[in-house]
Structure 1
Amino acid sequence: MVSYQALYRVWRPQTFADVIGQGAVTQTLKNALMTGQTSHAYLFTGPRGTGKTSVAKILAKALNCEHLVDGEPDNTCPICLAINAGSLTDVIEIDAASNNGVDEIRDIRDKAKYAPTEAKVKVYIIDEVHMLSTGAFNALLKTLEEPPAHVVFILATTEPQKIPATIISRTQRFDFRRITTHDIVTHLEQVLDEKGVTYDDQALTIVAKAAEGGMRDALSILDQVLSFSDNHVTADAALDVTGGVTTAQLGAYLNAVSQGEIPEALKIVTALLDQGKDAGRLIEDLIAYCRDLLVNQQAPALMDEVELSLMDQQFTDLTQAIAAPTLYHMIDVLNQTQQQLRLTNHPEIYLEVATIQLGQPTPEVTQAAPVSTPAPDTQELDTLRQQIEMLSQQIQQGTPAPAKPKPRAKAKPVKINKHEIYPILGAATKQDLINLKEIWPDLLNMLSVTKRAMMKISEPVAASPDGVIVSFDYDILVERAMKDAALMTELTSGLERLTQKAFKIVLVQTDEWPKIRKQYLKEEGAPQHTAAQPEPKTDPVVDTITAMFGSDEPNVSIKND
C-alpha cells in the first residue's frame, strides 16, 4: 500500500520548465548549461517556497545528465533517476540549521577533494546557509576561494543579509521572486484539473493570497482544503483553513467604523472571533483591504484581475465613500495593533480598542495657517528695556561674570577584584589568547540574541589555560554583564563546550585595562635579584609583557628610554 504524498512533493518541479514564476533564473541557468559557462558556486536567495531547493536539484541533474537537451535534464538516465530518488552519493544535501559548526564544514572541505564516484561533478546543496557560524563561514570561504574542478556548491537562503560579503562575492547570486497570485491560481487549477476535482474560482484566489507568494505554501493549504471538501473546493472551506474573512465581512466592518457605528463594528469583531477566526489574520486582511481601496482610488489599472474577482459592490461603494487620509489613518492604527497582538494572549482586547479608535472622527490634517503675532504689551517692553540698561551698566563697571558651572564629576570606574585578575595574568600566555580569540565569534553565536548584542563590543585581552579577561568599551556594560547571572552562565558553559575545559571569566573596562596591567607588572611582574645573581639581558617587565601578549602584538611596543 502506497502512502499518501503531499501535493507539494508530488508537484515538485523536475525540469526548469516546470518551475513557476522564476523565468529569468531558469533561462539564465539553461543558457549557462548550453554554453558550458557554469560557475563553481551559486547562491539562491528569496522567500520560502519559491523554488530555491527545487532549482538546485534540477541544476544538479543538469550538470550530470547524460542526455542534456537545451539545458534541460532528461530525467530518464541513471544519474537523473538516482538524484530524483535521493540515492546518488555525489549530490549531497545539507541543512545548515542543524549542521552549522566548523567541524561539519571542514568535513565537507576534506571530502570535496575526492573525485565523484558516478557523476561528472560532485554537487553540495547547503540549505539555510545563513545559519552557519562565523567559524563555519571562514572554513567554507577557503573552499570557495580554491575549489576543486569537479565540485559545485549551491547555497540557498531566505536571509541573504546574514551571509558575509566575502562569501557572496565568490558566488553567482540568483534572487527568487515571490510568485504572483495569478501564477499560483493557474498552477492550482492545473493540479485540480489533473486530480479531477472541481473548484470555485474564489476558493483558489483565497488560497493563493494566503500563500503570500510561496507555491509550496499554496499547495500545502490546498491539501488541507481538499480534506474539507468532497471533490469540490469551496470558498468557505478555503476560508476555514486559512482563517481568512470574506470580503463582505471586511467591507461591513470598515463601513461600520467609517460611519462611526462602533457598536455594530464591535458585534462584527465578536462574531468573527467566536467563529474561530485568527485575530492576527483578521488584522492582515483588513490592512490588505484598505490597501486595495487606496489602489483602486488612485490607480485602478494596477488592480490585479484575480484580486478584483473577490471584490463586490460594497468594495466599489467604499472606494468612493472613504477618503484617502482616513484610509491612511486606518492602516496606521491597524499596524500598531498588529504589533501589540504579538505581545499578548488576549487579542480580543486590542481588537476592540482598535475598533473604538477607528470609529472616532479622523484627525484631519489641515494646512498650517500663518500665525498672527499679538501686539506686545507696552508695560512688558518697558520692563525689558530697564533690564537691558542695568546689564549694560554692570558690564561697563566691570562686574564679574557669573561663575561657570562646575564640570560634572566623572563616573567612578568599576571596582576590579585583583584576586581574580592577578592569577589569570600570572599564567597568561600569547597562545592561550590566540586560541580564545579564534573561538570567540563561535561563543557569541551560541548566546541568545539580547545577550549576543551586549557582548558584541567585548573582546578577550588576556588568557591563561583556565581563565580569560574580557574587556568592554563602556563601564555601564561591565557592571550590567557582571550582575547578569544568566549571561555569565551562558558564557562559562559555552566556553566549556567549545574547549572541553572550565574557564574563569573576568570582565574589565577597556580604559581601565592598561592601568590594571601596569599595576600588575609593578607589583608582580618584576622579580627581585640578589647581588650574586647576574643582571638579565632584558628587563623582566618586558619579558612578562612579551610572554603574555607577544612582541608582535599591535598594542605592545618596546622602547628603551
Structure 2
Amino acid sequence: MAYQALYRVFRPQDFSSVVGQEVITKTLKNAVQNKRTSHAYLFCGPRGTGKTSCAKILAKAINCLNPQDGEPCNECEICKDANENRLNDIIEIDAASNNGVEEIREIRDKAKYAPTQAEYKVYIIDEVHMLSQGAFNALLKTLEEPPAKVVFILATTEPQKIPATIISRTQRFDFRRISKSEIIQRLEFVLNDQKIKFDDEAVNIIATAAEGGMRDALSIMDQAISFGDDELTLDNALQVTGALRNDQLLSYFKDIAENNTSEALKKLNNILATGRSPQRLTESIITLCRDLILLKSDNVEQISQTSIKKDLEEIKDLFTQDRLFNIVNIVSDTQRNLKNSNQIDIYLEIMTVKAASKEETKSQNNVIESDSKLNDKISQLENKISQLQEKLSSTSKVSIQEKKAVRKKSSKKSISSNKPAIFDILKAATKEALNEVREIWPDMMQMLPITQRAMMNVSNPVAASNEGVVVAFDYALWFEKVTQDQEMMDTLKNNLNSLVKRNMDIVLVAKNQWPEIRHEYIQEHGADLKNSEEDEIDTSTEQESKAVKIAENLFGKENINIKED
C-alpha cells in the first residue's frame, strides 16, 4: 500500500478523537443521540482545526446502523463504506472548483431523490465561501425548504463572505485554534503509536510553528521525520520550521542588551545564512521579550520557554521593562514591513541597530530618571490652572452666553433651507398626500444602501402635495450632508417616484427650522387659503382660528399642538 501522510492516517474517525473542540463535538453527539439533527450546518474556523473531519464524522453518525452514544461505530457496513469513501450518499464537494450556478442547481435537483444506501443523503461543501452570488441564490431555496432525509454541511475559513441569508438557515459552529498543549499531546500520541524516537523540544517547536492547526502540526512533523531518517530531533525540527536555536537567540539578544551593535549584526547575518526564517526570528524575539517581562513581574509560571528559564534569569536584569516594551514595538513594525518588501535583510538590520542603540537605551533611562522632575512641573501647572479658573469664574457665565449666541447665529447661517420650494409644496399640500408618503416611507428606506439608510433614519416627511414632499431632519448635520450630496438626492427622488408612480420633488429642511417656516407660510398665505374655506369666523380670535384651521388642513390635526401664550 502507498505511503499515507500522517494527517490522513490519524484523521479522527469519531467525535472523541477530535482535538480541542470539546464543546462542538459534545453538542453534535447529543444531537445525534437524541435524533435532533438539523438539515443544515455551518462549520467555520481557521485551517486544520477539524471542520471537515467533524463533517465526515457527523455524516457517518447520523447514518450509522449501530450508533453508540451519538458516536459512529465504525464497524457497520455504512461506516466502513464511508471511511473508504465508497458511500454514494455522502457527497463531498469542493466549492473552490465547483462554484458556479449550474453545479449548485445539479445538487439541488439530485437532492430531491431519496438516499440509495443510507438513511440520510449528506452534502459536505468545503470552502463554501468560494461560491458565486448566483450559486448562493440557487442554494438558498434548497436550504429554505430542504427535501426530506437530506443534510447539508457547509465548511469555510471565511464566514464573513457568506450571505447572511445562508447563515441564518444553518446551525453555526465556530472552531477555535487548538492550544499548544493539546497539539503537543496529540503529536506525542502519534509518535508513540508509530514507535518513533523524538526530542521533547522538537515537538514543542513544531507545535509552536503550527499556529493552532492540528493538520499543519502533523504535516510539519511528517516532514521533519522524513528529513531525520525516521527520527524526530531538535535540529531536524529547526531546519524544517526555520526556527532559531535557543543558543543563537540568546547570544544575539545579549549583544542587544549590551548595546553591542556590530556583534549583534554579525549574529543576525549568521542566523540568516543558516536559512532561518525572518518571520520566525521576529516571532522568537517578541516571545523572548514577553517571557522576560513576565519574569521581571514575578510571573514565572506563565513563561513559555521553560527550557531556557535559567538563561532568561541571567539576562533579565540587563533590560528595563520600558526597553523591552520598546523592542517589541520595533520588532512589530519590522514584521509589518517584511510582508510588503523584498529587502528583508535591510529591515532586519535596521531593527537590530534600533534595538541595540545606546541612544535608545539612554533615552529610556532619561525618561525614568526625569519622572520626579515631571511630577514637580505637573503640580506647578495644576496650581496655575486653579488660579486661572478662579479668575475666569466671575466672567464665565457671560462668556458662555455670548458663545452660545455666536454659535446659534453661526449655525443658522450654515443651514439654508429652500423656502420658495417648501412654500410651493405647501400651496397644494394635503393631509391625504402626506399620509400616502408616510405609508411608503419605510419601503423607500429599505431601497437605500445601509450608509444612506443610516443618515435618513433621523428624518421623516412633514408635509406633502401631489407634486412634492417636505422632509425634516432631526439633526442639522445630516440635513446639510444629505442636501450637499446630489447623488443621494437623485436616488431618493427616483425611489420615491417609483413607489408613488408619479413625479415628485423632495425638499429637505432642518427640524428646528420647520415650525418657523410653517408659521411664516401660514401668516403670509393665510388670506389666500381663507377664501377657499367654507366656514367664516367672526370673532375677536378670527385670525388665530383661521391659522389653526389652515395648519390642520395642511398637516393633519394629529400633527398640530396648540399652546396658549
Is TM > 0.5 for Structure 1 vs Structure 2?
yes
Secondary structure, aligned partner of 2:307: coil
Distance (Å, rounded) in 1 between the aligned partners of 2:166 and 2:294:
40
Secondary structure, aligned partner of 2:249: helix
Counterpart contact for 2:89–2:116, Cα < 8 Å: yes
Distance (Å, rounded) in 2 between the aligned partners of 1:512 and 1:207:
55
Counterpart contact for 1:202–1:309, Cα < 8 Å: no
Q: How does 1:531-542 map to 2 (within 5 A)?
A: none
Structure showing greater Rg: 2
Counterpart contact for 1:248–1:312, Cα < 8 Å: no
Return the structure number with greater helix share.
2
- Residues 375-423 of structure 1: CA distance to partner in whole angstroms, max 9, x if unpaired? xxxxxxxxxxxxxxxxxxxxxxxxxxxxxxxxxxxxxxxxxxxxxxxxx
Q: Are residue 349 (structure 1) and residue 350 (structure 2) matched? A: no
Q: Are residue 553 (structure 1) and residue 498 (structure 2) matched? A: yes
Distance (Å, rounded) in 1 between the aligned partners of 2:338 and 2:114:
54
Q: Are residue 314 (structure 1) and residue 311 (structure 2) matched? A: yes
Counterpart of 1:290 in structure 2: which amino acid? C
Counterpart contact for 1:44–1:155, Cα < 8 Å: yes
Match of 1:232 in 2: 231
Counterpart contact for 2:291–2:305, Cα < 8 Å: no
Displacement of 1:322 in angstroms is 2.2
Displacement of 1:338 in angstroms is 0.9
Shift of the 291–166 alpha-carbon distance from structure 1 to 2, 3 Å rule, reads farther
Displacement of 1:323 in angstroms is 2.4
Counterpart of 1:196 in structure 2: which amino acid? K
Counterpart contact for 2:496–2:504, Cα < 8 Å: no
The correspondence for 1:331, drawn from 305, 328, 333, is 328
Secondary structure, aligned partner of 2:502: coil
Displacement of 1:162 in angstroms is 2.3
Q: Are residue 30 (structure 1) and residue 25 (structure 2) matched? A: no
Displacement of 1:555 in angstroms is 8.9
Counterpart of 1:359 in structure 2: which amino acid? A
Distance (Å, rounded) in 2 between the aligned partners of 1:329 and 1:139:
53
Q: How does 1:268-283 map to 2 (within 5 A)?
A: 268-283=267-282
Match of 2:95 in 1: 96
Counterpart of 1:321 in structure 2: which amino acid? L
Match of 1:62 in 2: 61
Counterpart of 1:66 in structure 2: which amino acid? L
Counterpart of 1:341 in structure 2: which amino acid? L
Match of 2:7 in 1: 8
Displacement of 1:10 in angstroms is 0.6
Distance (Å, rounded) in 1 between the aligned partners of 2:257 and 2:495:
73
Counterpart contact for 2:89–2:117, Cα < 8 Å: yes
Counterpart of 2:34 in structure 1: which amino acid? T
Counterpart of 1:147 in structure 2: which amino acid? P
Distance (Å, rounded) in 2 between the aligned partners of 1:272 and 1:210:
18
Counterpart contact for 2:5–2:219, Cα < 8 Å: yes
Q: How does 1:426-445 map to 2 (within 5 A)?
A: none
> Number of aligned pairs?
395
Match of 2:45 in 1: 46
Secondary structure, aligned partner of 2:240: helix
Counterpart contact for 2:292–2:312, Cα < 8 Å: yes
Displacement of 1:97 in angstroms is 1.8
Displacement of 1:121 in angstroms is 0.8
Identity, % of aligned positions: 52
Counterpart of 1:102 in structure 2: which amino acid? V
Shift of the 297–43 alpha-carbon distance from structure 1 to 2, 3 Å rule, reads farther
Shift of the 34–266 alpha-carbon distance from structure 1 to 2, 3 Å rule, reads same
Match of 2:106 in 1: 107
Match of 1:264 in 2: 263
Secondary structure, aligned partner of 1:178: coil
Distance (Å, rounded) in 1 between the aligned partners of 2:276 and 2:135:
44
Shift of the 297–41 alpha-carbon distance from structure 1 to 2, 3 Å rule, reads farther
Displacement of 1:40 in angstroms is 1.2
- Residues 344-379 of structure 1: CA distance to partner in whole angstroms, max 9, x if unpaired? 222111100110011122443565543668xxxxxx
Displacement of 1:301 in angstroms is 5.7
Displacement of 1:223 in angstroms is 0.8
Shift of the 108–551 alpha-carbon distance from structure 1 to 2, 3 Å rule, reads farther
Q: How does 1:336-415 map to 2 (within 5 A)?
A: 336-360=333-357, 361-362=360-361, 363-364=363-364, 368-369=374-375, 370=377
Match of 1:18 in 2: 17
Counterpart of 1:316 in structure 2: which amino acid? E
Secondary structure, aligned partner of 1:42: strand
Q: For the aligned residues, what is the CA RMSD?
A: 3.0
Counterpart of 1:153 in structure 2: which amino acid? F
- Residues 264-318 of structure 1: CA distance to partner in whole angstroms, max 9, x if unpaired? 11011000111111212211222222223233444626526xx344324222223
- Residues 16-39 of structure 1: CA distance to partner in whole angstroms, max 9, x if unpaired? 111111111111111111111111
Match of 2:410 in 1: none
Any stretches of 5+ residues in structure 1 without a counterpart? Answer: 374-508, 519-548
Q: How does 1:515-530 map to 2 (within 5 A)?
A: none
Displacement of 1:556 in angstroms is 6.1
Counterpart contact for 1:248–1:314, Cα < 8 Å: no
Shift of the 309–99 alpha-carbon distance from structure 1 to 2, 3 Å rule, reads same
Distance (Å, rounded) in 2 between the aligned partners of 1:159 and 1:131:
9
Distance (Å, rounded) in 2 between the aligned partners of 1:556 and 1:288:
66
Shift of the 64–287 alpha-carbon distance from structure 1 to 2, 3 Å rule, reads same
Displacement of 1:101 in angstroms is 2.4
Displacement of 1:342 in angstroms is 1.6
Counterpart of 2:110 in structure 1: which amino acid? K
Distance (Å, rounded) in 2 between the aligned partners of 1:550 and 1:349:
57
Tell me whether 144-153 or 64-73 shows the greater mean CA deviation: 144-153
Counterpart contact for 2:497–2:503, Cα < 8 Å: no
Counterpart of 1:123 in structure 2: which amino acid? V
Distance (Å, rounded) in 1 between the aligned partners of 2:310 and 2:64:
55
Counterpart of 1:26 in structure 2: which amino acid? T
Counterpart of 2:498 in structure 1: which amino acid? E
Distance (Å, rounded) in 1 between the aligned partners of 2:184 and 2:138:
43
Distance (Å, rounded) in 2 between the aligned partners of 1:163 and 1:559:
38
Counterpart of 2:185 in structure 1: which amino acid? T
Counterpart of 2:339 in structure 1: which amino acid? R
- Residues 115-137 of structure 1: CA distance to partner in whole angstroms, max 9, x if unpaired? 11111111111111222223322
Shift of the 109–358 alpha-carbon distance from structure 1 to 2, 3 Å rule, reads same
Any stretches of 5+ residues in structure 2 without a counterpart? Answer: 382-484, 506-565
Displacement of 1:61 in angstroms is 0.2
Shift of the 315–95 alpha-carbon distance from structure 1 to 2, 3 Å rule, reads same
Shift of the 551–200 alpha-carbon distance from structure 1 to 2, 3 Å rule, reads closer
Distance (Å, rounded) in 1 between the aligned partners of 2:133 and 2:221:
39
- Residues 310-331 of structure 1: CA distance to partner in whole angstroms, max 9, x if unpaired? 3242222233432222121111
Distance (Å, rounded) in 2 between the aligned partners of 1:113 and 1:61:
20
